[in-house]
Amino acid sequence: MAVQTVASSPSTTPVDLGPASGLSCRECGHRVPLGPVFACVECFGPLEIAYDYSGYDTEELRRRIEAGPANIWRYAPLLPVPDDVAGKPNLNPGWTKLVKADNLARELGVTGGLYVKDDSGNPTHSFKDRVVAQALEAARAFGFTTLSCSSTGNLAGAVGAAAARAGFRSCVFIPHDLEAGKVVMAAVYGGDLVGIEGNYDDVNRFCSELIGDPLGEGWGFVNVNLRPYYGEGSKTLAYEICEQLGWRLPDQIVVPIASGSQLTKIDKGLKELIALGLVEDRPYKIFGAQAEGCSPVSAAFKAGHDVVRPQKPDTIAKSLAIGNPADGPYVLDIARRTGGAVEDVDDVQIVDAIKLLARTEGIFAETAGGVTVGVTRKLIENGVIDPSLTTVVLNTGDGLKTLDAVAPTSGPTATIRPSLDAFRAAGLAGQAG
């Protein structure tokens, strides 16, 4: 199949996307104007947003951010969005809690400060609301009328909700065997939801073909032809973490890996804050977390390879089940450059970590959160993560979306008759209060 670098109806008309000045190839540096373009015509490398931040005064920028709304648009001066973005119909995600996880820290032996960035508080209960909000603004700018995506579940719901709020048509594509909760959440917003017989990589290939077909005319695929804009939403996680830490970089951060885009953009966001003088320039380490049943980046890291070999996913962590992650090689570069690592945990460890986080901090994470907590514990036990340093762990979604993972081992402590004698006989009376 020929590489499709643009949508079937790319707009070359100049658009207002704030400080975004163009698109730049991550591989060869070739520059092109802003548009619904995702691959370099020179080398087929990925395109990403280039910015003009010249003229920003650090303290004035800090004041402007702190005076902004309690969502990602407080960072509008650093994002590819127009100045009036906060007044447009959007789900306005972000500014989620950074939970100081002292109970979990004691369990894991962390003394330097452990935090959970809990993105389950977003409108559709996953971090995907951040990236879709960004893509939606690009879709508006380029005149698209349909919002679409290939998804492992969370993104489908985020696109459906954002499209409904903004008055767009939506048509999203998912693997046919997703968790029931995610299917319902994607369908409830009234857009078209299409199950594809196959895994996520099959779904993604289909969407790439649709973009090059007249059937895709006027469609903005948030994670394909709008991918450069979509990915910038993940930077806001880095911005928020640093601001919530008092404009300070974390020493260590643990990020789940699906396509790998989130991890690369968090790194980009941290570097931008340093360049703008908003945080002190000092070392930080980024760790990637995968499920053992879909761990191509972890396998490459451990083997010392620069190329990520695709795998066929087989894990309960379906939101991370991307066997051929587009940003895998860049994740390897970042983990090695920062002194981090990429690790994986099996399904049993994932479930145990979900329960550990729930029991210690009252946070019910979906399976991806179980992966990050499980990998954090594993890396601490193996001496890779330093427990004396400030560590931030990402929870990217709500456990109500992946109930099947914990349902077999989570239920009533006892079922009794409605009497005090029955309660005593169950051996629970001493635990009351």
- Cα–Cα distance between 328 and 247 in angstroms, integer? 29
- Cα–Cα distance between 158 and 210 in angstroms, integer? 21
Joined tokens for residue 109: 């032996």
Helix (H) or strand (E) holding 260: none
In which residue are the tokens 């389950």 written? 120
In which residue are the tokens 């404009």 written? 247
Joined tokens for residue 232: 């910038």
In 3D space, the residue among 86, 224, 75, 43 whose CA is nearest the CA of residue 144 turns out to be: 224
pLDDT in tens, the chain (433 residues): 233 344 445 455 678 999 999 999 999 999 999 999 999 999 999 999 999 999 999 999 999 999 999 999 999 999 999 999 999 999 999 999 999 999 999 999 999 999 999 999 999 999 999 999 999 999 999 999 999 999 988 999 999 999 999 999 999 999 988 888 888 989 999 999 999 999 888 998 898 888 888 888 899 999 999 999 999 999 999 999 999 999 999 999 999 999 999 999 999 999 999 999 999 999 999 999 999 999 999 999 999 999 999 999 999 999 999 999 999 999 999 999 999 999 999 999 999 999 999 999 999 999 999 999 999 999 999 999 999 999 999 999 999 999 999 999 999 999 999 999 999 999 987 754 4
- Cα–Cα distance between 216 and 271 in angstroms, integer? 36
Coil/strand/helix, residue 133: helix
- Cα–Cα distance between 328 and 25 in angstroms, integer? 16
Coil/strand/helix, residue 244: helix
Joined tokens for residue 12: 């070359």
- Cα–Cα distance between 325 and 298 in angstroms, integer? 11
In 3D space, the residue among 186, 137, 188, 124 whose CA is nearest the CA of residue 166 turns out to be: 137
CB burial of residue 336 (10 Å; 0-12, 13-18, 19+)? middle
pLDDT at 5: 42
In 3D space, the residue among 15, 159, 16, 146 whose CA is nearest the CA of residue 84 turns out to be: 16
Polymer length in residues for the chain: 433
- CA 210 distance to own-chain centroid: 24
Task: Give the DSSP letter string of 299-363.
Answer: HHHHHT-SSPPP----SS-GGG--SS-TTHHHHHHHHHHHT--EEEE-HHHHHHHHHHHHHHHS-
Joined tokens for residue 277: 């003088």
Q: How many CA atoms lie within 13 A of 120 on its CB side?
A: 20
- Cα–Cα distance between 375 and 343 in angstroms, integer? 6
- Cα–Cα distance between 137 and 81 in angstroms, integer? 6
Joined tokens for residue 311: 């795998």
- Cα–Cα distance between 321 and 429 in angstroms, integer? 44
Helix (H) or strand (E) holding 158: helix 154-166
pLDDT at 1: 29
pLDDT at 9: 54
Rg over CA atoms, the chain:
22
Sign of CA dihedral 234, 236, 239, 241: negative
Whether the CB-CB separation of 255 and 394 falls below 8 Å is answered with yes
